[in-house]
Amino acid sequence: MKAKNCLIFGGSGQIGSFLIRKLTKNNLRVTVVTRNIHQKGLKIKTQANAGYIDIVEANIFEEKKIEKLFIEADYCINLIGILFEKRRGNTFKNIHTVFPTLIAKLCRKYNLEHFVHISALGVNEAIDSKYAISKLKGEKNILDNFPRSTILRPSVVFSSSDNFSTQFMTLLNRLPIFPLYYSGKTKFMPIHCSDLTNIIYQVISNGSDTQIIECVGPEILTFKEILEILLNLINKKRLLLPFPLAIAKLSAKFFQLLPKPLLTEDQLRLLKYDNIPSGKYKTNSDIGLPSKLYFKDEVKKYSYMWRDGGEFSTEKYGFEDIKKKKLEFN
């Protein structure tokens, strides 16, 4: 029996790496589209079982080239998203609205079995955010053009290759004072990348009549609690200082000028809203796929890199236990 083919956009990132391993391990072929095959091709190829992956170099604005990829596809998965806008077409509108709409139309034209699109939790509530507005418009256009679609709205996604826990541990390592926006009270339900990719796989393999699923981890944590967990794991003490909104806005204006902004004005607006289920849609638990991996337990597995001693951290290798055993032996 011929293996079915999944067409993946955004396969070189955190979620893509986990997803390629999951799909190919379960005998699904993947075609991964990347903008730079020379820079990212080798990394992508090593994630898959041999013979189960094709890598195609294409820009998302090359419509004719992209359309040809749908001829042999059974499923399509879109993982592409940005947290801040850049010049040369990398705008929220292009990435979150225009391109997903194009994919949905091509899914309809070539009669694909299913389309899975990764959006974001909380987009209904954050009506003053350009990011959220673009995501919401993209979702609507997808469902209007291809009803056999499933929109997944994850909370913060984390793993050892994320830009969330790892970035904050780096900053907490270097900064004596860390700012708390909105007093650090914003709520999140972090979901591990492997749990999210399992949801994607189950939707693809078993189908789903649910068009929007809110994907969350097993616990609610405030932003302050997340930082406190990370500080505990890397064995550091830092002052977590609430910032007045006026100063927060000023710092965001400055940070967003950097090549990779630490914070933008739009992200600051997003932080006003809790990143937890709205109650309007089913969650992954409601469809029988609860997340099982807790934030602290999983981050602990790789947090040693930010502790004193890094990969040679005594806690990682249990040197203290070895010393005790030596003393007992003597």
Dump pLDDT digits (tens) for 162-175: 999 999 999 999 99
Q: pLDDT at position 329, please?
A: 42
7, 31 in Cβ contact below 8 A? yes
pLDDT of 198-223, one tens digit each? 999 999 999 888 899 999 999 999 99
Q: Where are the domains of the chain?
A: 5-161+189-220+275-293
Mean pLDDT of 114-143: 95
Strand-pairing partners, residue 78, are 9, 117
Which residue would you say has higher pLDDT here, 258 or 213? 213
Report, as an integer, the average pLDDT of 133-157: 97
Distance CA 155, CA 187 (A): 10
For the chain, count helices (H), then strands (E). 14, 14
Residue 326 pLDDT level (bands cut at 50, 70, 90): very low
pLDDT band at 285; cut points 50, 70, 90? very high
**pLDDT tier, 315 (very low <50, low <70, confident <90, very high otherwise):** low
Q: What is the mean pLDDT of residues 283-308?
A: 96
Beta bridge partners of 241: 179
Average of per-residue pLDDT values in the chain: 91
Q: At what angle do helices 193-206 and 14-25 cross, to 10 degrees?
A: 50
Q: Is there a contact between 204 and 116 (Cβ–Cβ < 8 Å)?
A: yes
The whole-number pLDDT of residue 244 equals: 94
Question: Which value, in Å, is the radius of gyration of the alpha carbons in the chain?
Answer: 21
Fold of 5-161+189-220+275-293: Rossmann fold (3.40.50)
167: closest CA among 303, 43, 61, 23?
Answer: 303
Rounded Cα distance between 207 and 205, Å, is: 6
Beta bridge partners, 282, equal 213
SS3 of residue 48 by DSSP: coil
Residues 189, 197: Cα–Cα separation, whole Å: 16
